Amino acid sequence: MTTPISVIMPARNVDKYLDEAVRSVLDQRGVAFELLIVDDASTDGTWDRINGYRADPRVQVWRFRKIRGPGAARNFLIARARGRIVVPCDADDRLLSGFLRTVSRAFLRNPNVGVIHTRRISRYQTHRVRDAARDLGPAKAWDLIGGALSNPGTAVRRDLMIKAGGYRKDLPYLEDCELFWRLAEVTRILPLTGKPLYFYRKRRGSLTDRFKKTGHKIRLKILREVIQRRYGVRPGW
């Protein structure tokens, strides 16, 4: 039987958070799913924790001996996914109750939509919520230049991910935003309203934290490529 949803979870040096992330996926109800995890050459106890889930038939695990980076790790998992829908979940984040059931039903109701994103909470204690943007896609605001999506809270049809070429391996940061800029050219992106369904952890040592000062340069580089590819104009900035 085909598994309808594949949750992909690359992990590197997240032994403090991994169990919480994995349990948030395994506790999902109302839809069949698989969880694919790869350890990207961690130097802490991450692999030991991942290996502890090997006996669960819903879970597949792998280990890299050398660091490949977030884009390559995600592509590795997508290539092995059996589901029609791919849900990226970082190993220090959490899917909230009902995430998989909600996005599965949304895809069934919207066969012309290739990407769905949910509202997400960034901090429980202050209840800061990132709202979904407007309905986006080729027919409306398709370029996403005004505000890119990132992995947290999203679900994507696997065939579109593969057709788009997956994540770029040469980008150390914002490889997810770059992918969604490309996906916006070929499919509709549908935001879901209602309660938040994803917890995005802000912490020291994360990619977002490490690229806090230099990430804007990578973003501008990607945007220049997007604008030149779509409009044939190279920005002067």
Extract the runs of DSSP E, i.e. beta strands, from 89-148: 94-95, 113-117, 120-123, 128-130
Tokens representing 174 are: 């914002």
State the Cα–Cα distance between residues 30 and 46, nearest whole angstrom: 29
pLDDT at 139: 43
Structure tokens, 226: 């997007």
Locus of tokens 């806090």: 212
Give the pLDDT score at 123.
66
Residues 6 or more apart from 194 whose CB is under 8 A from it? 102, 119
Which tokens hold the place of 55? 């006996």
Cβ partners under 8 Å of residue 204, min gap 6: none
pLDDT < 70 regions, the chain: 1-3, 123-147, 203-212
Q: What is the pTM of this model?
A: 0.89
User: Which pLDDT value is given to residue 132?
Assistant: 47
| Cβ neighbours of 113 (radius 10 Å) | 17
CATH class of domain segment(s) 5-231: alpha beta
